[in-house]
Structure 1
C-alpha cells in the first residue's frame, strides 16, 4: 500500500493548489512547500504545513497544533533558560568582578621593588619593602615606635636639637664666647685674682721655709 501525493513540477506556477480533498497532500517543487486539505464534510481548505516558512496554523479543534513561530520561540526560550542555568551554575564558582572575595590561597605576581601603581602587593613584596626600610637596624631601633621613643616623640626633633646646640659654647673659642665672664669667674670661685698679671700679685703672710733656695742667678 502506498501514499500518493500530488506534485507540481519545476517550471510550473508557484503558489498553493486551487483545491485539495480532506487530508489530501500536495507538494510544490517550485516553492518547496507541502500542502494538505484540512476540513470536514467534503469541504477542505488548502493549508501549507511544511517548507521554508511559517506554515503551521493554530488549531481550532480539540487537537492542538503549534505554529512554527511559537515552536521557535519556545525552543529559543528553552535554550536560553538551559544556557542561563548552565552559565549561572558555572559562574557561581567564580568570584565577581566587583569586590571579589577569594578563598584558599590566591597568588599574584610579585611587583618589582619601587613599584607605585594599583598592582596587587603580595606578601613577598611587603616583606622585602619592610626589610629594605629596616636595613639591618638593631632590634632596639627597628620599629617606628622605638624610633619615636628614642626621639622623645618630638615631631620637631631636628629643630629642637639645632636650637639646643646653638646655646652651647664653641670648643675652639676657649671660653672667649662667654656672654658674662664676670659671672663665670664668680661661679668658678676665682674672684679677681684670675684676671691679674703675675707681677701685680703680692703674697702676704706666712713664711718661706729654709728648704727653699731662691737663686736670683747672675747679673
Structure 2
C-alpha cells in the first residue's frame, strides 16, 4: 500500500510542486505516480545543468508551439524564478522557442524546390544577389553557423529570410543566456515528442558542443524533455477522476 501523503511530501520536496494533476494521478494510480517521480529525479540527481537551467529547458519544452502545455509553463516558470532566473532570461527562452515556426519552411522549401524541378519550373539554384549574399553573411555572423537548408529559403524568398534573420537573431544580439544554453533550448523543442525535428536537433547538438557543451549536459536536456510524455496523463487524470466519481 502506497502512502500517498508521504509520496506528496517527497515530490514537493524533490521537485517543488504538487498540482491538481498530481493529486488526480495519486487518486487514480499512486504507484504510477511513484515510478514517474523516480524517472523525473534522474536529471535532478545528476544536476549537470543546475536547477535554473533545468527549469528553463522545461519551460521551453512546455511553451513550444507544438506542445503548449499551460500547467508546465507555469510550473517551470515558477521553478526558474525560485532558482534565480531573471525576467530577461525567461523572456529570452520564449523568444528562442518562438523560432520553431520556421521549421515549416525548413521542411517545406526543399520539397517545393523538388516539385519546381520536377515540373520544369526550376533547373537549379539561382545565383545570389549582392543583397542575398549580405543576408547570408549577417545570419552566419549573428547565429554562428550556416546550414544548407537556409539556401533554398534565401533563394526563393529573401524578404522572409531577412525578416526571420532579425527575428531569430534578436536573442543572440540582445540576450543574456550563454550560447550553449541558447542551443540547449533549440535542442529541447526539436527533440520533444511533439516535434521530433531531426535535422535541427542534429545541427543544434553540434552547435552546442562547439560552444563547450558536454555530452552529459546534452543528455540531461533530453532527460528533461522526455518528461513531457507525462503531460498527457496529467491532462487526462483530473478528467478521468471526475468522471469516475460520477459513476
Q: TM-score, normalised by structure 2?
A: 0.20
Higher helix share: 2
The structure with more radius of gyration: 1
